[in-house]
């Protein structure tokens, strides 16, 4: 998963591909590689590390040719290494891939039986092998690609070459891919910024499209194999705008990426027929009786832990203790052998979380990390790791990492529930089907984003905010308040609504907006009373609810309605308006949204 580029034309492909890969560096990656064709051979050079390291190797090697593909990899299957870097070759077929092949193990087994051999730990390697298989069955390259993609389940954008052929093939399926149209030369890229210095004319492929690029032009086949015309669009983006996909800030882009990052995180982990959750990463995990869970993290990841506690305890009936990583190791936590310690971190490099993990290990706990970065310290040192597949998160304020962490916690609960038999199969199936609807529901919230933007204008000059929620939405409001604090520098406090009477109520007057999360669940009537209490003290209530006719809707200042889902998944849907609210206020105030003052993306000191 990360960046794809491809070129066919009259110029040196290695230089063009390297330049395009450099332009994708801002997205983060762990290794890079190119494949360049000289009409006869295709030569591959790939390396863990930076594009500059790769360039030095290429310069030494004098790679020449006018057709080529390249890739920057953000590992999802297999650690970052030279061996797992793209491109991958199977005899004369060479492929780079973004996305996840859900059924790669199945295809690998099938091909192994036919004598195919694999060298890497990636899911991608099955693709060139599958295409090779079909060329050997008599298909030409395009026919073999068409045939192969029918076997693939998951998400993929591909760029494909074959030795001795001057054809560059691109495939798009639930992972972006576009064609750049130049003057007598054509390009492929996963993202426009890669090509912005070469052309401003793009064809944005649609799902299921196969693009065939030759020296004479571009032909596009749709999912049925019919030739289709796709409009060439001129975009006038500056390189900065292009990097952010047309969004003003990375944070906003990442908020809008959540439907796809959640889909990617779920992908391949649901065993539909069995009605179970499967984590490839946990195959080796011994499943003895678990006495107690611990969940430990910092910042936003800590809020995910708090939500995890609600999800786990309600469904597994095993106690979960949640700790801030910076507190955990200094309080002599009574962790014992047989305890299960879950550490959550987007970066996997947060010093306090790493220290907590080491402390827990010392005390005999089994350690599992939930991380977004393959090869990170935390993922290397814990007994096992589940990777969220949010893709690189560049904005300092965590957004898509948070919602994918909750998705993983929910799946992990279902994984334990079936292993421990604490839930009926049909209940698990029902919960899985709710999970599958989440990306769509998040999208629905995002479609209503303009309303939040409008609301933000009204509240941007207030100096203090209170965020109230109950139950599983208590940690959600903590997260909403953190978002507002860190990017807008406005003071905001998240509170369990029931605690309001025990102190914060003293703060409420007409200068205090109070954001209330109030779904139609068992907390509804209590939340209504809390809202009444705020209104009667002239506080301005912003209500976020999943009810079309909430009892307080007419009395509050503003209402935003989110789609309904099950209790455990509510935070994913409810946090989206809170992220947008914080973003738009900060944007209107003109703060440095992506790099707020005093904050670092990864806190590597204790």
Active site residue 601: yes
Work out the number of other CB atoms within 10 angstroms of the CB of residue 439. Answer: 21
Active site residue 2: yes
Those residues with Cβ within 8 angstroms of residue 472's Cβ, 6 or more apart along the chain or in another chain: 307, 310, 311, 567, 568, 570, 571
* Alpha-helical segments (H) within 448-472: 449-459
Helix (H) or strand (E) holding 477: helix 473-488
State which residue, 17 or 356, has the beta carbon closest to ligand M6R: 356
With contact defined as beta carbons under 8 Å apart, do 393 and 261 qualify?
A: no
Those residues with Cβ within 8 angstroms of residue 207's Cβ, 6 or more apart along the chain or in another chain: 172, 173, 174, 223
CA distance 172 to 419: 37
Q: Give the active site residue among 50, 429, 564, 601.
A: 601
- Using alpha carbons, list the distances in angstroms from residue 193 to 14, 74, 261, 460: 18, 17, 20, 32
Q: How far is the CB of 73 from ligand M6R (least distance, A)?
A: 20
Q: How far is the CB of 602 from ligand M6R (least distance, A)?
A: 5
CA distance 553 to 528: 10
State which residue, 300 or 367, has the beta carbon closest to ligand M6R: 300
Tokens of 501: 């009477």
CA distance 343 to 354: 8
* Alpha-helical segments (H) within 504-569: 524-535
CA distance 456 to 413: 36
Q: How far is the CB of 350 from ligand M6R (least distance, A)?
A: 3
| Positions in the binding site for ligand M6R (CB under 6 A) | 298-301, 345-347, 350, 353, 396-398, 486, 599, 602-603
CA distance 594 to 226: 43
- Using alpha carbons, list the distances in angstroms from residue 219 to 107, 177, 200, 214: 29, 15, 19, 8
CA distance 155 to 161: 20
Question: What are the residues facing 385 on neighbouring strands?
Answer: 369
Q: How far is the CB of 600 from ligand M6R (least distance, A)?
A: 8
Whether the bond between 479 and the residue before it is cis, its omega within 30 degrees of 0, is no
Q: Give the active site residue among 2, 298, 305, 371.
A: 2
Rounded (5°) CA angle 77-339-381: 35
With contact defined as beta carbons under 8 Å apart, do 94 and 162 qualify?
A: yes
Residue 395's SS3 state is: coil
The residue with its CB nearest to ligand M6R is 299
CA distance 463 to 213: 56
Numbers of helices and strands, H then E, in the chain: 18, 27
State which residue, 300 or 488, has the beta carbon closest to ligand M6R: 300
State which residue, 190 or 579, has the beta carbon closest to ligand M6R: 579
With contact defined as beta carbons under 8 Å apart, do 570 and 476 qualify?
A: yes
Q: Determine how β-strand 513-517 pairs with β-strand 464-469.
A: parallel
As annotated, the active-site residues are: 2, 601
């Amino acid at each position: 998963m990360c960046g794809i580029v491809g070129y066919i034309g009259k110029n040196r492909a290695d230089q063009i591909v390297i330049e395009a890969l450099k332009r994708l560096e801002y997205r983060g990656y762990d290794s890079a590689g190119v494949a360049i064709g000289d009409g006869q051979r295709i030569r591959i050079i790939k390396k863990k590390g930076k594009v500059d390291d790769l360039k030095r190797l290429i310069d030494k090697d004098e790679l020449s040719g006018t057709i080529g593909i390249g890739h920057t990899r953000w590992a999802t299957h297999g650690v970052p290494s030279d061996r797992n870097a793209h491109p991958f070759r199977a005899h004369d077929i060479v492929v780079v891939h973004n996305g996840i092949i859900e059924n790669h193990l199945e295809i690998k087994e099938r091909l192994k039986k036919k004598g195919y051999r694999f060298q890497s730990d990636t899911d991608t390697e099955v693709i060139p092998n599958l295409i090779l298989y079909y060329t050997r069955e008599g298909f030409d390259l395009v026919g073999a690609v068409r045939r192969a993609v029918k076997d693939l389940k998951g998400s993929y954008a591909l760029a494909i070459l074959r030795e001795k052929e001057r054809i560059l093939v691109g495939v798009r399926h639930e992972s972006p891919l576009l064609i750049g149209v130049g003057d007598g030369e054509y390009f492929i890229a996963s993202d426009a910024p890669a090509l912005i210095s070469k052309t401003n004319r793009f064809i944005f492929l649609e799902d299921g499209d196969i693009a065939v690029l030759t020296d004479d032009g571009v032909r596009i086949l749709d999912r049925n194999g019919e030739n289709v015309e796709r409009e060439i669009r001129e975009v006038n983006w500056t390189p900065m705008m292009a990097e952010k996909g047309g969004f003003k800030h990375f944070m906003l882009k990442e908020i809008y990426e959540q439907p796809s990052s959640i889909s990617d995180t779920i992908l391949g982990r649901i065993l539909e027929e069995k009605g179970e959750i499967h984590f490839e990463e946990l195959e080796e995990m011994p499943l003895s009786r678990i006495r107690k869970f611990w969940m430990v993290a910092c910042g936003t990841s800590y809020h995910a832990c708090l939500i995890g506690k609600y999800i786990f305890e309600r469904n597994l009936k095993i106690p979960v203790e949640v700790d801030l990583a910076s507190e955990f190791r200094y309080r002599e936590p009574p962790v014992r052998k047989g305890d299960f310690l879950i550490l959550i971190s987007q970066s996997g490099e947060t010093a306090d979380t790493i220290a907590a993990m080491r402390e827990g290990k010392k005390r005999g706990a089994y350690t599992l990390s939930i991380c977004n970065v393959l090869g990170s310290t935390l993922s290397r040192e814990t007994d096992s790791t589940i990777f969220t597949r949010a893709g690189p998160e560049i904005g300092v304020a965590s957004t898509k990492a948070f919602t994918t962490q909750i998705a993983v916690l929910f799946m992990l609960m279902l994984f334990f529930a079936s292993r421990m038999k604490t839930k009926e199969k049909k209940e698990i199936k029902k919960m899985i089907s709710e999970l599958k609807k989440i990306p769509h529901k998040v999208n629905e919230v995002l479609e209503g984003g303009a309303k939040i933007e409008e609301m933000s204008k009204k509240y941007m000059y207030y100096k203090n905010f209170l965020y109230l929620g109950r139950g599983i939405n208590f940690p959600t409001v903590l997260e909403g308040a953190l978002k507002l604090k860190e990017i807008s520098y406005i003071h905001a406090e998240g509170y369990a609504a029931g605690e309001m009477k025990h102190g914060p109520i003293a703060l409420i007057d007409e200068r205090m907006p109070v954001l209330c999360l109030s779904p139609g669940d068992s907390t509804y009537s209590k939340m209504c009373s809390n809202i009444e209490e705020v209104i009667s003290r002239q506080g301005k209530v912003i209500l976020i609810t999943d009810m079309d006719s909430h009892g307080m809707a007419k009395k509050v200042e503003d209402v935003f309605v989110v789609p309904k889902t099950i209790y455990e998944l509510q935070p994913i849907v409810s946090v989206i308006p809170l992220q947008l609210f914080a973003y738009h206020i900060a944007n209107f105030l003109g703060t440095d949204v992506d790099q707020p003052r005093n904050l670092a993306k990864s806190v590597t000191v204790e």
